[in-house]
Structures are given as C-alpha cells and as structure tokens.
Structure 1
Amino acid sequence: MRRHKEHSRRLPAGPRQTGPRALSGRLPGAVAVVAAAALALAGCSGSSSSSSSASATGSPQASGSPQVSGSPQASPTPGQQNGGTQLQDAYQTVIANVLPSVVQITTGESLGSGIVYDDKGDIVTNAHVVGTATTFTVTLANSTTALDATLVGSYPDSDLAVIKLSSPPSGLKPASFGDSSKVQLGQITLAMGSPLGLTSSVTQGIVSAVGRTVTEPQGPGSPGATIGNMVQTSAAINPGNSGGALTNLDSQVIGINTLAATEPQTNGAAAPGIGFAIPASTITNIANQLIKQGKVTNSGRAALGVTARTSFNQQFQPAGAVIVSVTPGGAAASAGLQAGDVITKIDDTQVDSLNALTTALASLTPGRNVTVTYTRGGTTKTVDVSLGELGTP
C-alpha cells in the first residue's frame, strides 16, 4: 500500500499510570504462566470459541444432558435484539448523512481530511493540513475523481483553514454543525476521515470530556497553537483523520478531528482512546470570517496584546513570561504593562513560561477582567487588565 505523509497532530499524554502492566513483570513464575494462558485464551476467543462450539454441539450428548446451543441464556432477548438493531440503524443513518460531506485533501505527498462547508465549494479543515500550500487536490467521498482547490484563508492560532474547489460539482452536500453548548459527556461520537489514506473511514466512541485546553506540537502551518474548549473523544483519531468530522447521532458535526495523544514513555506510540476535536462553535466562527474576508478579526479568544517569551531565573529554570513588546492600544498597554515586565500569574493561575501564559489565556474570554501579577525591576506588582481579543491585522 502506498505510504502517505499523513497529517495528524500528536501531543504527550499525562504521566504513565501504574497498573497491571507494570506489575506483571514481578509476578511469581506459576502465577505468570496462568496469567499468560488467560491472555492467550482471551486473545483467541473470537476464533477458537466458534470451533469449540461446533465441536461441542457435534459431540454425542449424555442422556438427559442439556444442549448448550439450546440454553435460553445463549440467545439475546427480543429487547436486546431490538436495542442492538436500533443502535446499528442509528450508526448507519449518521454515516449515510454525514460521510458524503467528508473529503480527502492531498498536498503533494501529504494527506488529510476536510468537511464540505457550503454548496459553493468551501471546505473547512485544519491549518496544519494545508500547511504552507495554496493549491490542493480534493477527493469527495462518493467519487474517485481528484478536484482542484485553492486556499481561501488559514488561521493557525486556532488550527483552522478553508479551501475552495475551483469547479464545484453539483450535488455537494454541506455538513450540518451542532450546538457546542449541548455536547455532553457520554454522548456517542463517530469520527470520519481518511486515516492512513483509507478514505471514508469511520470509528466510534464517546465524548470523554469537554472544555479541554490543549497545546499542539509545532509543525508545518502550525506555530504550536494552544486551543481551548476542545472536545475529548475515545473515537480513534489516526494520521490522516485531521480535518475530518466528529459527529453525534443527530448527524451533526460537533467537532473537527485535530489531535491524538501519544505516550512519551513509548517513543511517541499512540495513547489509545485519547483524541481531541475543535468544537463546532469555533469552526463556524472562524470559517465564516475566512470565507467572507479572507482573515480573522474576531477570534473569540482572549488576548493580552503582547509578544512574550519564557523567562528563566538564575538557576536556568522557567520563571515566567517576559514581555518583549506591547501592542499599542492593546489590553496590556492600556493597563500600563511594559516590555521587560515578567508575568508570573493570571488571577490565581501560575505562569512560569510562555506556554503557561498562552494556556491560561486560552481558557478565558475577551472583555474579562483579570489580575496580572508581574515583576518589574525585582519588585512584584499587580494590575487589573480587561482582556482584548486575539485576531489578525
């Protein structure tokens, strides 16, 4: 199978948890053998159980012995059958409704996914999928014909971009976007895209958490954006899924697949069941601005109006975010903050690096009043700041 340089973002998972895996190496010999046998049986249950069942049902039964295949417990009740069928039907309905709106995007040797945004040929995807490219080929879910597309606009700070088909075909099916405020823990989700170049693939899971603030690794087209309010899902998100749709069972897109977690202790191996999607409200806000004006002026994200870098103490440990420059007329300038000031806290949130400052701001909203703690000339000071809004000139 042809290898692609598929687009996906990976970030470290939390500290590795201790558990059975860590303990198994210290099991006594006899116990270890039993455990290994149990694992082998569990791993082969799909194939060996059917052959064992055939052998049992084909063997002569002792007089009066019940037939296993006839045991009432062996068959699901009508209610269980109906419930399973209904859920299966719901999955298939969502797939039929949404999958035609999910496309594959190719940029040279790189590959990702996208979502049809309107019937004019606009497609929303991740900024890291488009990278620095301005031309693309797009393959629709119901076609093998590659279509040309060009860049409308990219907003790496929220890792979103819009491209447009040069000659939109008739019958394009725009996706329906859901209400981000109604996304709840435990909701069933389906992730659609082109993982590893396998077009129109679907995985399933649930909403594991909402309101996550996640910092991406740096890469082509992405400065290592810190994105707030992300949806965490257990649906598998693999390389090539980036830019694809995360949907609910109402056939609505509730997020755009963006990140998959990895474990640093396993040399970057995937951490199963931990993926992140940018919420629908952010998608529609950014996409509408990119389509109408080619840039973003109202991101809905809080900003201090400064350029900063990580500050280090005498022991060369991160100790804050030092302001390099202040935007004239911005929130920091209006509050009297200056270049050289070292920010150490936003309200009660400690700031020991530029990343910590960015993360703290990602969870806040424009117009909110916060107390900024900073040092100037070795003296600790505080000032109240009314946050501005992150945008582009």
Structure 2
Amino acid sequence: MDASPAPSSSRRVIRRRALPLTAGVCTLALACGCAGPDSAPSGAPARQAVPARATDDLEERYQDVIKDVLPSVVQIAAGDGLGSGVVYDDKGHIVTNAHVVGSEKTFDVSVPTGEKVLKASLVSSYPEQDLAVVKLDDLPDGLKAARFDDTDEVEVGQIVLAMGSPLGLSSSVTQGIVSAVGRTVSESSSGGGTGATLADMVQTSAAINPGNSGGALVNLDSEVIGIPTLAATEGDSAAPGIGFAIPVSMVRTVADQIIESGKITDSGRAALGITGRTVVDDSYQPAGVAIVSVEKGGAAADAGLRAGDVITRIGGTPVTTITSLSEALANDEPGDEVKVTYTRGDAEKSAEVTLGEM
C-alpha cells in the first residue's frame, strides 16, 4: 500500500504516492552592451521592471485555490499505513487509490475541518484502475466536496497544486506543472501495489512522497484534474520530477459506477479474455506471453487462439511480458480490432482479434 507507514517506505520501479514540488518565483535581468543598471543605450527604450504585483497576483491565486480545495482533502489510515483521499460528494463518499485501502474494510479518516477522527467503510475497490471509494459513517459539520473538472483538456505547462498527506504530514500543499499527458505506466505488484497498467496518465513535474497517494492534483480554477498515484524511480531512488496522476475522466467514471452500483459495471478497458504467463527464451530473457487459458466466448477464443499459444506482438508492438501485453492493450477500447501475432509450436501465426472488455 502506498502510504506512509511508519516513517519511511522504499519502492521499486514505479512508486505509489503523490506529489510535491516546491518552486519559487525567479526574476531574470538581461544586460545590454555596457549600459549601467539604470541606463539604456542612446535611442533604446528604458528597460521595464517586472511589476511586483504580478507575483502578488499569483500568490493570491494559489492561496484562493488552497482555501477552496484543502478542506476537501483528507488523510486515510488503513491498517498500519497512511494515504490521502478527496471528498467526492455531500453524502460522505471519498475517492482514493485502491493501493491506499489495500485489503482493509474500515478506516480512520482525518479531515482538515476538525480534530476528531472519523470512521469510514469501504464501498468498493477497483485495483485494475487503482481507484477505490470509501464512505464516512457519519457526516461532520462543514464537510465540503471538491469540484472535479468535467473535461479532459489538460495542457502541458499548466500549473497544478498537489494536496495530501505526504509522510503523514496532513494538509500539505505543493506545486508543479503538467509535464506530459497520455502516459501509460505500470505499477509494481510488490509492496502493496496493485500491479495495474494505467493509461492516459497525467505526468507532472512535482516530486512524489509516501502518503500523498489518493490526494488531489488541482488546477488554478480550484478543480481536481487528477488523483496522484505513482512516482518514477531510478534504481532504488526516486526519480525527481516525474510523477503520475489518474486523469479526472477515469476517476469520475469509476467513482460514479461504484457509488451507483457498488461495483464497476462498464470498465471501458479492452481485454483479450485470457490468463497468461511470461515465458523466457534459451538465454532466459522474456520472450512472450504463453496463454494458460482462454475465456469461453471471449475475444481470443473467438479468434481461434488457445492454451499453449505464445503471444509475441500486438499490432506493431512487441510483447515480451505480461506487463508489456497490458501496456500494448491499455490505449485500446472494447470492440477495437487488433492483429495478434503468436507462435504455436514452431510456427508463427497471426489473428485479427475483436477486443472484449475487462
């Protein structure tokens, strides 16, 4: 589970948590020729000082966003771990990461609006997308639902604030920018991770620390645009400036279905309808995914694939491991047709497969 267990937890490959990055405002001065600091060359316009008001306006905007959103960001204690969550509606539903709740069913929730620890219960968890919804047993006075953005138009360079409980420090706020969109990343399945492959992730420059998972990534309009979930690592150390958040469109899709039905009824995620395992070649290098079983009436079965076949490519993307197979399918949708290349015995074959739903 991501969380900030006691004081620290190290992760491998992709870390679960959420973001901080502190950044100051820097003013640059450009010198022209040999002119002094308060002079300009003959005939050239005098240099303009950067108005102090511009910095003040940005600071005020940050402060307004914090006042709007921070009361909606909670700390979740699940067993021995700590994570974050965001109040989703006025009925006490809170959205967070599946790896934050882990296998727990009941939780202690601390809200910024009061010192009393509240009790909450699991509504449902969806590890395949690393999202979950819990519900407060009793609603406290002053509980405020966050505003979730209703658009996918997240732009690279957009300023964002991250709110959560990094390292158990509740109500922490940090800032960064959106540094990329549309990323596909895979979680580790060790150390409490779900092992999920997540598509269309928002990449941010903010650093990620344990306990921030499940918190809020917010734009300057006080709208939640994502749920911080992963941080990249390099070796055994965090890779600074590379964090990932689940986009708000997926958060809303999953949360709305869980709240309405208690489960996911339409995942929107493509699947082959198989179980499989990674196989290695003569050099003990990953070389494909062997089909262990096919779902009767599923996509692979309908296309003629069977147990024992080894999948080596989806479309033009090589497949060497279970993770790479998941990543190759992550951006497809149910009903899409893909070419699956596989080996059966010593023969290489291919099939056109109409994808089913996970």
TM-score over 0.5 for the pair: yes
What is the 5 A alignment of 1:148-187? 148-187=119-158
> Once the 2 structures are TM-superposed, how far is the Cα of residue 315 of structure 1 from its aligned partner?
2.6
Say if 1:345 and 1:351, in contact at 8 Å, map to a contact too: yes
The residue identity in structure 2 corresponding to 1:379 is A
Residue of structure 2 aligned with 1:130, choices 101, 108, 115: 101
SS of residue matched to 1:182 = coil
Question: Distance in 2 between the 1:131 and 1:171 partners?
Answer: 28
Q: Among residues 69, 77, 101, which one is paired with 1:98 in the alignment?
A: 69
Residue 253 of structure 2 corresponds to residue 282 of structure 1: no
Q: Which amino acid aligns with 1:161?
A: A
CA contact (8 A) 2:5 2:81 kept: no
In the other structure, the counterpart of 1:213 is 184
For residues 2-17 of structure 1, the aligned pairs below 5 Å read 4=6, 11=13
Alignment RMSD (CA, Å): 2.3
8 Å CA contact 1:8–1:238 kept in 2: the answer is no
Q: Does residue 1:247 correspond to 2:218, yes or no?
A: yes
Aligned AA for 1:197?
G
Q: Which amino acid aligns with 1:155?
A: Y
Q: Deviations over 1:285-329 (max 9, x none)?
A: 111111122221211211111111102223322111111111112
**What are the Cα deviations for residues 182-225 of structure 1, in whole angstroms up to 9, with x where unaligned?**
00100001010000111100110000100111111114654311
CA distance in 2, matches of 1:9, 1:172: 33
Q: 1:307 aligns with which of 275, 278, 293?
A: 275
Is residue 2:294 matched to residue 1:326?
yes
SS in 1 for 2:66: helix
Using the TM superposition, give the Cα deviation of residue 78 of structure 1 relative to its aligned residue in structure 2, in angstroms: 6.8
Structure-1 separation of matches of 2:286 and 2:306: 20
Amino acid in the other structure paired with 1:345: R
Structure 1 spans left out of the alignment, 5+ residues: 14-65
1:82 aligns with 2:50: no
For residue 191 of structure 1, what is the amino acid of its counterpart? A
Distance 1:238 1:330 in 2: 40
Q: Distance in 2 between matches of 1:114 and 1:9?
A: 21
| Structure 2 residue 349 is the aligned partner of structure 1 residue 349 | no
Residue type at the aligned position of 1:375: T
- Using the size of structure 2 for normalisation, the TM-score is 0.87
C-alpha contact (below 8 Å) 1:6/1:240 kept by paired residues: no
**Which residue identity lines up with residue 319 of structure 1 in the other structure?**
A
Deviations 1:152-187 (A, max 9, x none): 000111111111100112332111111452001000
| Shift, 1:335, TM fit | 1.1
Picking from 175, 193, 200, the partner of 1:229 is 200
Distance 1:222 1:291 in 2: 23
Q: CA 1:116 to 1:9, structure 2 compared with 1: closer, same or farther past 3 Å?
A: farther
The change in CA–CA distance for 1:222 and 1:180 in structure 2 (over 3 A counts) is: farther
Deviations 1:328-385 (A, max 9, x none): 1211111111111111111000111111101111122221111111111211111111
8 A Cα contact 2:161 2:218, kept in partner = yes
Change beyond 3 A, Cα 1:225–1:194: same
Residue 97 of structure 1 aligns with an amino acid whose one-letter code is: D
| TM-score (norm: length of structure 1) | 0.79
CA contact (8 A) 1:5 1:109 kept: no
2:28 is aligned to none
> Which one of the candidate residues 203, 209, 212 is aligned to 1:238?
209
Q: 1:364 to 1:3 in 2, by over 3 A?
A: closer
Distance of aligned partners of 1:302 and 1:252 in 2 relative to their CA distance in 1, 3 Å threshold: same
- Select 2:162's aligned residue among 160, 166, 191: 191
Divergent runs of 4+, >6 A: 6-9
> Structure 1 pair 118/125, CA: closer, same or farther in 2 (3 Å)?
same
Distance 1:110 1:364, change over 3 A: same
Equivalent-residue separation in structure 2 for 1:122 and 1:84 (angstroms): 37
- Identical counterparts, % of pairs: 59
1:12 CA drift (Å): 5.1
1:254 Cα offset (Å): 0.7
- Local SS of the residue matching 2:13: strand
Deviation of 1:79 (Å): 5.2
Q: Would the aligned equivalents of 1:326 and 1:332 in 2 still touch at CA under 8 Å? A: yes
Corresponding position of 2:350: 382
Structure 2 distance, partners of 1:170, 1:250, is: 25
Moved more, 336-345 or 286-295: 286-295
Question: What is the 5 A alignment of 1:21-40?
Answer: none
Aligned to 1:109: 80
CA distance in 1 between counterparts of 2:59 and 2:188 reads 37
**Residue 181 of structure 1: SS of its match in structure 2?**
coil
Determine helix, strand or coil for the equivalent of 2:145: coil
Query: In proportion to residue count, which structure has more helix?
Result: 1
Cα distance, 1:7–1:387 mapped onto 2, change above 3 Å: farther
Aligned partners of 1:7 and 1:172: how far apart in 2?
31
Gaps of 5+ in 2: 16-35, 41-46
| Paired position in structure 1 for 2:339 | 371
